[in-house]
Amino acid sequence: MRTDSAMAKSGVDLPLERASVEAAHEAIKEHIHCTPVVTSRTMNELASTPQSPEALIGTMCEGRNPAHPKIRLFFKCENYQRIGAFKSRGAFHALSRLSGEQLSRGVVTHSSGNHAQALALAARTHGIKAHIVMPTISTPSKIAATKDYGAEVIFSGSTSQEREAVVEDVIEKTGAILVPPYDHPHIILGQGTMALELEKQVEELVKGDPSLSVHGTSKEPTKIPEPTNGSSENGTLPTHRRRAGQLDAVISPLGGGGMLAGIATALQDTGTRVFGAEPSFEGADDGRRGLEANQRITTVKTLTIADGLRTPVGEINWTIISDRSKVQGVFAVTEEQILSAMRLVLERMKVFVEPSAVVGLAVCLYDEGFRSLVEHEGGEEGWDIGVILSGGNTTVEAISKMFAADDKHAERAEAKVGRDGKRIAENIAG
């Protein structure tokens, strides 16, 4: 990919550190929503209940006693962000760092959906042209939304090589500035702004209701392991003091890595651990596998239902995610676990999300490795965990297909038949 028309030549060099995330938030706050943070007693109870031994059959933890962590969850609802996903943060920040001359040339990117919509919206806000290269496999709803924001949509094949070839052609013809979907410092810093908000929001929530935190009834700050590269001779990490309102950990979805890298940058040296979550289907867990191999995996070909995570971790993002002082681990979950978590969010929390958004929650509920870590490190008191719900850009039709049931079960779910199979209903209160 050419760099002469990319943001790398924007002339603004921002170091990847918390202060830069704070500057990014100041630059974009008038254009984005400070999305809500919500809690759920039901989710806390489920996350704090051991899985059944049967649930571990066929996994690496088969035969072990299921973990029994104590967890309190705080959900950062980026599905309520502008365009329905966190990507608006990075797009608006990227354009805020371009000069007037660069903006006048318009912008171009390649994306299957959320970044496409985000850049289209940011470009419309700045009154400039946006050229969006979208693979033909993109969902009709995301294509339509991108066009509705005023962007020119150009279709391409699904591979990165095919998409980038079309982008090169657009740059050659128009001189537009390339705004990458995830692998650029300005994108990373913009996405990291959600972590700054999450910190403050959790602190305010716990201040108002200390029972929301596992640390809320403690008279003294709690000792928890501090994220470091090293460990003591007995294998345990050094500890520091933790008080109510300070998150023990944040877990976010991992695709190209802009969001996870941004969160890790924002939370570095705060004492809050940062984790990534991926789907495991057809090798979508390239981040986890790359960490095991100590090498970035450059190609991903997967049709996981978490379609926003079907991309390899970017080069710049990998330098952050592979640094154990910044990201303490990446975990992967199955398609069934993603659907189970999504059903819980839809039905119990009444929050509309896409599959990619719930992989972090699925890890908290179903990944024994992560749950054992929380049990071991959190002890009797447990952990307060921030969970990023990254977006809600899906459709009723797509959700219906994901959860399709046979006619008999569907009618029962719709309350059209009783438990005995009869179809009689009269004067039933809602």
d(CA 135, CA 141): 13
Among candidate residues 182, 163, 206, the one with its CA nearest the CA of residue 74: 206
112 as an active site residue: the answer is: yes
3-state secondary structure the chain: CCCCCEHHHCCCCCCCCHHHHHHHHHHHCCCCCCCCEECCHHHHHHHCCCCCHHHHCCCCCCCCCCCCCCEEEEEEEHHHCHHHECHHHHHHHHHHCCCHHHHHCCEEEECCCHHHHHHHHHHHHHCCCEEEEEECCCCHHHHHHHHHCCCEEEEECCCHHHHHHHHHHHHHHHCCEECCCCCCHHHHHHHCHHHHHHHHHHHHHHHHCHHHCCCCCCCCCEEEECCCCCCCCCCCCCEEEECCCCCCEEEEECCCCHHHHHHHHHHCCCCCEEEEEEECHHHCCHHHHHHHHCCCCCCCCCCCCCHHHCCCCCHHHHHHHCCCCCCCEEEEECHHHHHHHHHHHHHHHCCCCCHHHHHHHHHHHHCHHHHHHHHHHHCCCCEEEEEEECECCCCHHHHHHHCCCCHHHHHHHCCCCCCCCCCCCCCCCC
Among candidate residues 302, 328, 306, 320, the one with its CA nearest the CA of residue 257: 320
Catalytic residue of the set 10, 40, 48, 87: 87
Which position has the token pair 């899985």? 51
Burial 141-156 (b: 16+ CB within 10 A, else e): ebbebbbebebbbbeb
Catalytic residue of the set 48, 112, 356, 390: 112
d(CA 357, CA 85): 9
Distance (Å) of CA 307 to CA 113, 185, 392: 9, 24, 12
Give the Cβ contact number of residue 270 at 10 Å: 15
87 as an active site residue: the answer is: yes
Could you give the residue numbers annotated as active site? 87, 112
